[in-house]
Amino acid sequence: MYDPRMRKLADVLIDHSVRLQKGETVYIEAFDIPSEMVEVLLDKIYE
């Protein structure tokens, strides 16, 4: 189970900061963060 704070951060990053729209391409460069956070971001992106 993921930390709910990770899910909240992913929501803010994808919906507010990036404002990702269907059909757009995303490049994630991740270092010095837990791999679980990357998984949560990917889950949010593919929703």
pLDDT tens per residue across span 12-47: 999 999 999 999 999 999 999 999 999 999 999 998
Q: Give the number of other Cβ atoms within 10 Å of residue 4's Cβ.
A: 9
Helices (H), the chain: 4-11, 35-45
Question: Tokens representing 36?
Answer: 């679980």
d(CA 28, CA 16): 16
Terminal Cα-to-Cα distance of the chain (whole angstroms): 18
Instruction: Tell me the residue type at 45.
Output: I
Q: What is the DSSP letter of 28?
A: -
Q: Domain-by-domain residue ranges, the chain?
A: 4-45
pTM of the model: 0.84
